[in-house]
Structure 1
Amino acid sequence: MLTLTWRRGDGRCAFLAGMLALLCYISPASAEDGYDLWLRYAPVGSSKVEGYRSALGNVVAPDRTPTQRVVREELRRGLAGLLGSEPRFRASPAGDAALVLGTPASSPWLAPLRHELEGVGEEGYLLRWTRLDGRDALVIAAHRDIGVLYGVFHLLRLVQAGVSLDGLDVSEVPRIKLRLLNHWDNLDGYVERGYAGGSLWDWHTLPGWEDPRYTDYARANASLGINGTVLNNVNANALSFSPAYLRKAAALADVFRPYGVRVYLSARFSAPMELGGLATADPLDPDVRQWWREKAREIYALIPDFGGFLVKANSEGQPGPQDYGRTHADGANVLADALAPHGGVVMWRAFVYAHDVPEDRAKQAYNEFVGLDGAFRDNVVVQVKNGPIDFQPREPFHPLFGAMPRTPLMLEFQITKEYLGFATHLVYLGPLYEEVLRADTHARGAGSTVARVVDGSLESHALSGIAGVANIGDDRTWSGSHFDQANWYAFGRLAWNPYQSARDIAAEWVAMTFSPAQEVVRPVVDMMMASRETAVDYMTPLGLHHVIARGHHYGPGPWVDGGPRADWTSVYYHRADRDGIGFDRTASGSDAVSQYAADVAREFNDVERVPEPLLLWFHHVRWDRRLRSGRPLWDELVHRYTRGVRNVEAMQVTWRRLEGRVDAPRHRQVAAFLRIQRDEAQWWRDASVAYFQSINGLPLPAGEAPPPHPLAYYLSLQFPYAPGDGR
């Protein structure tokens, strides 16, 4: 114990007084450093406290299993923070008990709800007022303990937002079975395309030391209904399957299990050679098949609820079945057969590159996979990126959605912002996710949305899934900035129900993260909802794409040319020349439009009908063509670049007005990041305008400021240590 002695006249007096004052100052700040995410459980308004206490002050909940104990602890933590007092746990709903939690198997009081629970499945729940033992009670009931935990988080979400519990009657069922984060974390602690520091997993100290942060990670995911995590990079290292690293993965699985989060691993296709000493990884070789069966048995002996494998094969230099003249289905099926006896799944990624540069890279995944429809085992799901290139600020939906009716397709979003300003730019991805999920494939006529493909309802698939490339690292904020937490949150909420509103989700997040006061919620939500379109304006307006710097993808690089592959350059995609700009993917160009259903193809193929935000994705357009605004294309392009910068400045004004309504530490950091974003938006605008003007030789529209530097200046900028590159 440290004892401090206070002596009048002692020189230490002033020092100690200063230290005490400093501690008083930093304690509140450290409580608002972003670590608590949307689970801050800050006190609700005093006018609501008594109403909530009367409904939630007395609780009947079992505590026999790890998940049941997690349920009680979360409720205790949440209500203590929100209401200022812990709930009283009772053995029965006698007396004035008001909240009853559990399953019919764990709580006899909930047995009468057994029939009503038939519709909520294995992970859903009921949250409602009912009569128990002759008394009104609020119940959270489910078939399984994990459903009860999800229900508790739902209840706490309502209390955080200050919502009345009167007449509450909720029945929630997740629409998608597999709701996963994909961590692109390497075994050396580096995170590919990660902008929040190093890996959350300390492989060196596992399994001996289980960092408490692993539990907080599982808690956060459970609060959203995320039920799985792929621990390692899709550019996989075979050592992840070695006995030592499997024991480390098993330790994480033990931490995550009470929260309903299953562990998955990215599999390196050549592991039978690198770990097993085989001469081949040919999926049709009997020894290879046997190696995978034995490896699966080894994994399940350590992790009984192991989820399965994620595989990137024959793409960007990764080994795969095509190395042996086999198909993607051949490769996926050998792994699926090994996992099937244990209930595991294979998520086989459709993000592929040909060895030779194709005519149009946007067509390749469709060309390689659509002919394999129906050739995959029942426990295989093909994981497809939201668009046909690579997580661009805006893309059309991927043509594979709706084109493989006999194969479950799993949607892959990027939560980490590889092409959207890394962690410093405020870009809320909810509108991007919503845009993709609501896109109509017309595979079975109007209403065949991507969401219906992904949740399995369009083709009645039992296996369904959605994945998000995680933005999580060891940064104190988890995601590298306070607002990037909203993208993790939005992904999780839409993974549970892809038909929700991105705006409503943003309002939930703001209420829980900053304040439920409408004076805060309304302006921040408006800022968030406009932020994605703002980034598109200053980065890739009118359907431009892949105009980023080489390798690390930090900042503008529309001039990028040369190198090992044409389709790793910007000029391959924008095709700007003296006459016009854009990639011709019409029937007279690369004919990528033909990969879509006929109604969609006709719209995309017609320069008069194509959605203007995708104009240059599908068409090479003359600089002087008049757009719907009445402006020539060149003028409209410059206008949108400038509009993006101005909208970031408007975000800065909105945030400044919230000073005093958001705690000072977080307000300062967001304000600083908005300054960075504004400067970089201006950089994007000026560099892009300077480059394209050098191509077309056209004057700037009236009123538009010229770039402050010549093109040579922007070409000279180098950033060799930008974070997150592929290494």
Structure 2
Amino acid sequence: MTKLKHSTILLLAFILFSGTDVFGQDGYRMWLKYDKISDDQLLEQYRSQIHQIQIATDTPTLEAAEKELLDGLSGLLDTEIENRSELNRSSVVAGTPANSETIAALGLEDDLRQLGDEGYLIRHTEHNGNAHIIIAANEDIGVLYGVFGLLRKIQTNTGLDGISYETAPKVQFRVVNHWDNLDRLVERGYAGLSLWEWGTLPEYKHPRYIDYARINASIGINAAAINNVNADPLILTDQFLEKVEVLADIFRPYGIQMFLSINFHSPVRIGGLDTADPLDPGVIEFWADKADEIYERIPDFGGFLVKADSEGQPGPHGYGRDHAQGANVLADALEPHGGVVFWRAFVYDPEQDDRFREAYDEFVPLDGKFKDNVILQVKNGPIDFQPREPFSPLFGALPETNTMIELQVTQEYFGFNLHLAYQGPLFTEVLNEDTYAKGEGSTVAKVVDGSVFDYELTGMAGVINPGTDRNWTGHPFVQSSWYAYGRLAWDHTLSAEEIADEWIRMTFTNNNEFIDPVTEIMMESREAGVNYRNPLGLTHLYAQGHHYGPAPWHSESSRPDWTSAYYHKADDYGIGFDRTETGSNAVEQYHEPVASVFRDLDKIPEDYLLWFHHVSWDHEMESGRTLWEELVHKYYEGVEQVRWMQEQWNEMEGLIDDERFEHVKALLKIQERDAVRWRDSCVLYFQTHSGMEIPEQYEQPEHDLQHYIDLEHIIYVPDPWYN
């Protein structure tokens, strides 16, 4: 390759494909920000260790790896880097024993064997008189992951002298879910329109599709379900499948398998049948033929994601069949092609006395009845992505059914694109909970990765919902939750704090004057969001429909579990949902000793108190305050935490670019406004039940309760699904 040709390609990559912020530091590049290293001493050290690269380019994945490595190193080291066939200087050598003579000569087979198809190692080693950085893997996709891994080390200013690092994913399917509709509106999406331009596909392939693939591959994501789980059957028609095929082609070099959400009534809606009964021969034939058709277009198609018999979506119950029968007809159709079914366990019956119980009561009796290529996709908690939930009792209850966890990045219950609410602590909190399914140490993470029950298939799913906003996620810090999800899907042993540190360094700066306080902000932000919304185990106090603002007074709906009163049960005596033996007894769904802790008023952690107990207003809390006083204290604490976050952020001026600094500063002002509204709405409403005063040391609400009730359906950001 001539220098001119290479420079031209780098320029085009700079403008189009690397997503460089040509309009300023607007966040488009996410954490793939390959700017010159600011530490001169470290820069010279890296330059002395890396003069060139050596990597084969005989597959699309290796071509992508070469391009990323050249772009990344050229930008970070601020020097021209070339791919050379001869190693005459210190280099980065990337490849497999099959496509790299250098790596084959190092005898790494034993080390690589334990890393599987996607793992990789990075070593600083001597070869033929020169010191090289080696990126080695068994397969090409592992090489690409290793390239991103090395660039991450450099971006975070990690020294490479003597480096010996190896890693492999802990779960097989690391999936991102999109709730994108075919009209390009995104359900629970707060960052613009859908990324998928159906009107211009398949002819026009937007460069953003490549950047999307790069972003996901950089954190080890290997599957994407690109359409809403409330699925339109048209996604399975020729007019859309030819568009999906193009996206699959773009994603493939980056190791991302295409999945589609399907509508269970597709045999009726687009197949001309009069039934979707999973045991009907015509329906069985429809799904088998449809699978054949898809695999003819997309040979590595991953499979189907299904929401059935939930929130009005059709499913097998409409034909007197169970979830296993519904999932298995799809699994049979996909099995000859190696495809899988992700079957969501998000179900709840309007006749059920306690929505908390529904998924467990419905799926546990079916354990062992699902085919081996079905994975039950279970939300982290038993209700619906709330700011804090106990872990779903389904984790640890299905020894014979592959089970994966579903987490939410898009901030449906955390202030949309206006609030700073890093989800890393929420994700690690649930993953590290002990189910005691097979004794102590049976954490949710170990259930999900197959360690507890030896599942055939393992996975994690994250609902991400990015859009056409320049920074992909609306709020700059929602990017951090996307990053955290991917890193934890790869390695659930990481801590939320170390992930935050990585993300800050890669996205903003390696300056510790910025990193330390912003890490504190991020780690505090989730708890603040809990405190000014749903402290002490309260849940689902949102205005129905948009889920943005508070409505604890909401008590009438087409079904009781779509009201706030259903969950908080506030009355003159106290507050909270009794899920012990004197109530719904949902606590029985947990293994011991978890069940005993949750059912005991003296043992239960106060974070979960009102999830499981209806507690009197004058109940004495650990602080010595009464429940009413503690509830008020928590609501006010949440507001003060946001004000502290504002103060901390304001001190960051001058340490990063003005554009992102001012953006976040403004958003934190909005968050304070909303936190006060939440606090005053909830405290004033619950006061109508407790009959107790707000202690005089707290600032008193500016308005009366009716003022806040009148605001219930006034929201400050558009939710396209709701509107």
TM-score range, shorter chain: over 0.9
2:719 aligns with 723
1:201 aligns with 196
Partner Cα separation in structure 2 for residue 77 and residue 102 of structure 1? 18
Out of 255, 276, 291, the position equivalent to 1:260 is 255
Partner Cα separation in structure 1 for residue 51 and residue 609 of structure 2? 57
| Residues 463-482 of structure 1 mapped to structure 2, 5 A cutoff | 463-482=457-476
Residues 180 and 465, structure 2, Cα contact 8 Å, conserved in 1 = no
Partner Cα separation in structure 2 for residue 483 and residue 166 of structure 1? 32
Out of 654, 668, 674, the position equivalent to 1:674 is 668
How far residue 549 of structure 1 moved from its aligned partner, in angstroms, is 0.5
Partner Cα separation in structure 1 for residue 97 and residue 617 of structure 2? 68
1:16 aligns with none
Tell me whether 124-133 or 255-264 shows the greater mean CA deviation. Answer: 124-133
Map Cα deviations across residues 381-434 of structure 1 (whole Å, 9 max, x no partner): 000000000000000000000000111111000100101111111000000000
2:10 aligns with none
How far residue 134 of structure 1 moved from its aligned partner, in angstroms, is 5.0
Out of 155, 162, 167, the position equivalent to 2:162 is 167
Out of 320, 331, 334, the position equivalent to 1:336 is 331
1:585 aligns with 579
Partner Cα separation in structure 1 for residue 80 and residue 455 of structure 2? 44
Residues 392 and 419, structure 1, Cα contact 8 Å, conserved in 2 = yes
1:119 aligns with 114
Secondary structure of 2:706's match?
Answer: helix
* AA of the residue aligned to 2:421: V
| Residues 271-290 of structure 1 mapped to structure 2, 5 A cutoff | 271-290=266-285
Partner Cα separation in structure 2 for residue 722 and residue 359 of structure 1? 33
How far residue 136 of structure 1 moved from its aligned partner, in angstroms, is 2.9
Residues 332 and 376, structure 1, Cα contact 8 Å, conserved in 2 = yes
Partner Cα separation in structure 1 for residue 450 and residue 239 of structure 2? 37
Secondary structure of 2:688's match?
Answer: helix
How far residue 663 of structure 1 moved from its aligned partner, in angstroms, is 0.4
Partner Cα separation in structure 2 for residue 726 and residue 383 of structure 1? 25
Out of 234, 238, 249, the position equivalent to 1:239 is 234
1:432 aligns with 426
How far residue 611 of structure 1 moved from its aligned partner, in angstroms, is 0.8
Map Cα deviations across residues 285-305 of structure 1 (whole Å, 9 max, x no partner): 111111100000000011111
How far residue 686 of structure 1 moved from its aligned partner, in angstroms, is 0.6
How far residue 171 of structure 1 moved from its aligned partner, in angstroms, is 1.0
How far residue 29 of structure 1 moved from its aligned partner, in angstroms, is 7.9
How far residue 132 of structure 1 moved from its aligned partner, in angstroms, is 2.9
2:73 aligns with 79
Partner Cα separation in structure 2 for residue 691 and residue 726 of structure 1? 25
Residues 21 and 29, structure 2, Cα contact 8 Å, conserved in 1 = no
Identity of aligned residues (%): 54
1:13 aligns with none
Partner Cα separation in structure 2 for residue 483 and residue 269 of structure 1? 36
Partner Cα separation in structure 2 for residue 86 and residue 297 of structure 1? 47
Partner Cα separation in structure 1 for residue 123 and residue 614 of structure 2? 56
Partner Cα separation in structure 1 for residue 634 and residue 544 of structure 2? 24
* AA of the residue aligned to 2:36: P
1:11 aligns with none
Residues 471 and 488, structure 1, Cα contact 8 Å, conserved in 2 = no
Map Cα deviations across residues 257-300 of structure 1 (whole Å, 9 max, x no partner): 11111110001111011111011100011111111000000000
Map Cα deviations across residues 424-465 of structure 1 (whole Å, 9 max, x no partner): 110000000000000000100110000001111111123101
Out of 178, 181, 184, the position equivalent to 2:176 is 181
How far residue 634 of structure 1 moved from its aligned partner, in angstroms, is 0.5
Out of 334, 343, 348, the position equivalent to 2:343 is 348
Out of 301, 308, 311, the position equivalent to 1:306 is 301
Partner Cα separation in structure 1 for residue 79 and residue 693 of structure 2? 67
How far residue 149 of structure 1 moved from its aligned partner, in angstroms, is 0.8
2:523 aligns with 529
How far residue 48 of structure 1 moved from its aligned partner, in angstroms, is 1.3
1:512 aligns with 506
Secondary structure of 1:381's match?
Answer: strand
TM-score by length of 2: 0.95
Partner Cα separation in structure 1 for residue 721 and residue 498 of structure 2? 34
Secondary structure of 1:88's match?
Answer: coil
| Residues 631-650 of structure 1 mapped to structure 2, 5 A cutoff | 631-650=625-644
Secondary structure of 2:343's match?
Answer: strand
Out of 637, 652, 664, the position equivalent to 2:658 is 664
Residues 49 and 131, structure 2, Cα contact 8 Å, conserved in 1 = no
| Residues 696-711 of structure 1 mapped to structure 2, 5 A cutoff | 696-711=690-705
How far residue 135 of structure 1 moved from its aligned partner, in angstroms, is 3.8
1:445 aligns with 439
2:679 aligns with 685
* AA of the residue aligned to 2:193: G
Secondary structure of 2:175's match?
Answer: strand
Residues 43 and 82, structure 1, Cα contact 8 Å, conserved in 2 = yes
2:34 aligns with 41
Partner Cα separation in structure 1 for residue 370 and residue 23 of structure 2? 51
How far residue 632 of structure 1 moved from its aligned partner, in angstroms, is 0.3
Map Cα deviations across residues 134-173 of structure 1 (whole Å, 9 max, x no partner): 5432110111111011111111111111111011001110
Cα-Cα RMSD: 1.2
Secondary structure of 1:278's match?
Answer: coil
Residues 194 and 468, structure 2, Cα contact 8 Å, conserved in 1 = yes
Map Cα deviations across residues 343-397 of structure 1 (whole Å, 9 max, x no partner): 110000000122x331100000000000111101010000000000000000000
How far residue 96 of structure 1 moved from its aligned partner, in angstroms, is 1.4
Map Cα deviations across residues 484-543 of structure 1 (whole Å, 9 max, x no partner): 110100000000001111000000000111101111110000110011001101000000
Residues 90 and 97, structure 1, Cα contact 8 Å, conserved in 2 = no
Secondary structure of 1:30's match?
Answer: coil
Partner Cα separation in structure 1 for residue 568 and residue 700 of structure 2? 22
How far residue 724 of structure 1 moved from its aligned partner, in angstroms, is 4.6
Residues 263 and 306, structure 2, Cα contact 8 Å, conserved in 1 = yes
Partner Cα separation in structure 2 for residue 593 and residue 162 of structure 1? 47
2:321 aligns with 326
How far residue 28 of structure 1 moved from its aligned partner, in angstroms, is 8.1
1:4 aligns with none
1:101 aligns with 94
Tell me whether 41-50 or 564-573 shows the greater mean CA deviation. Answer: 41-50
After superposing on structure 2, the runs of 4+ consecutive aligned residues of structure 1 that deviate more than 6 Å are none
Partner Cα separation in structure 2 for residue 367 and residue 56 of structure 1? 58
1:654 aligns with 648
Partner Cα separation in structure 1 for residue 51 and residue 599 of structure 2? 61
2:210 aligns with 215
Residues 77 and 86, structure 1, Cα contact 8 Å, conserved in 2 = no
Residues 179 and 186, structure 2, Cα contact 8 Å, conserved in 1 = yes
In structure 2, runs of 5+ residues without a counterpart are 1-19
Residues 392 and 546, structure 1, Cα contact 8 Å, conserved in 2 = yes
- Is 2:355 the counterpart of 1:361? yes
Residues 357 and 567, structure 1, Cα contact 8 Å, conserved in 2 = no
How far residue 726 of structure 1 moved from its aligned partner, in angstroms, is 4.9
Secondary structure of 2:532's match?
Answer: helix
Map Cα deviations across residues 614-633 of structure 1 (whole Å, 9 max, x no partner): 00010000000110000000
Out of 103, 106, 115, the position equivalent to 1:110 is 103
Secondary structure of 1:170's match?
Answer: strand
1:492 aligns with 486
Count how many residue pairs are aligned between Structure 1 and Structure 2.
Answer: 699
1:66 aligns with 60
2:448 aligns with 454
Residues 329 and 376, structure 1, Cα contact 8 Å, conserved in 2 = yes
Partner Cα separation in structure 2 for residue 28 and residue 62 of structure 1? 30
* AA of the residue aligned to 1:706: Q
1:10 aligns with none
Residues 515 and 662, structure 1, Cα contact 8 Å, conserved in 2 = yes
How far residue 32 of structure 1 moved from its aligned partner, in angstroms, is 0.3
Partner Cα separation in structure 2 for residue 262 and residue 484 of structure 1? 24
Secondary structure of 2:114's match?
Answer: helix
In structure 1, runs of 5+ residues without a counterpart are 1-26
Over 3 Å counting, the alpha-carbon distance change for 1:29 and 1:99 in structure 2 is closer
* AA of the residue aligned to 1:277: G
